[in-house]
Amino acid sequence: MSTAAAEPVPTVTLRPASRIDLPAVLALLADEDSVVDPEMVTVTEAYECAFTAIDSDPRNEMLVLVEDADDRGQGGTVVGCLQATYIPGLGKGGAERALIEAVRIRADRRGSGLGRILMEHAVARARARGCAWVQLTSNKQRQDAHRFYAGLGFVCSHEGFKLAL
């Protein structure tokens, strides 16, 4: 039992990113310890192409967590993001699985429960789609992130390998 008062849950919206959100998403991805101003981000042609590739692919989506969106969930301030890839496969009776990458919460908003909201929404989308499981990797140095994912029910069952080309 904890005697701490319950934190207020922020009012946020999760939606697929639009092209207009691209600078804010790139700012989040560049943000390690401090907020990067989206207006300082250079949106190169390669980033435009990559965003179009994600946006036009029915098995990929860049989701953004937005504060102060309008009644239709549009506009507002991007404070988090993640990319989901839905992968067809021959395991688990032929079910899709969801791979989650590029999980970010804006540096000045961490610790306020937004990460949990972002991940819970993403897991719910994968479940609604019929995915058999959700998978992700997290750098071995990020032990705080490992506790976060374990707290959401994720099991740390695998080693994650990368080969730079």
Question: Where along the sequence are the contacts to a second copy (CB under 8 A)?
Answer: 25-26, 29, 44, 46-47, 49-51, 53-54, 57, 59-60, 62, 83, 85, 87-91, 93-96, 99, 101-102, 123, 126-127, 131-140, 146, 149-150, 152-165
Q: How far is the CB of 53 from a second copy (least distance, A)?
A: 4
Report the Cα 144 to chain-centroid distance in Å. 16
Beta bridge partners of 60: 85
Query: Helix 45-55 vs helix 22-30: angle between axes, to the nearest 10 degrees?
Result: 110
Q: Are 117 and 65 in contact (CB under 8 A)?
A: yes
CA 141, CA 100: separation in Å to the nearest integer? 18
12-16, strands of its sheet edge to edge: 12-16, 60-67, 77-87, 97-105
CA 148, CA 32: separation in Å to the nearest integer? 17
Q: Which is nearer to a second copy, 102 or 117 (CB)?
A: 102
CA distances, 27 to each of 24, 39, 91, 152, 153 (Å): 5, 9, 36, 26, 29
Q: How far is the CB of 111 from a second copy (least distance, A)?
A: 21
Q: How far is the CB of 50 from a second copy (least distance, A)?
A: 3
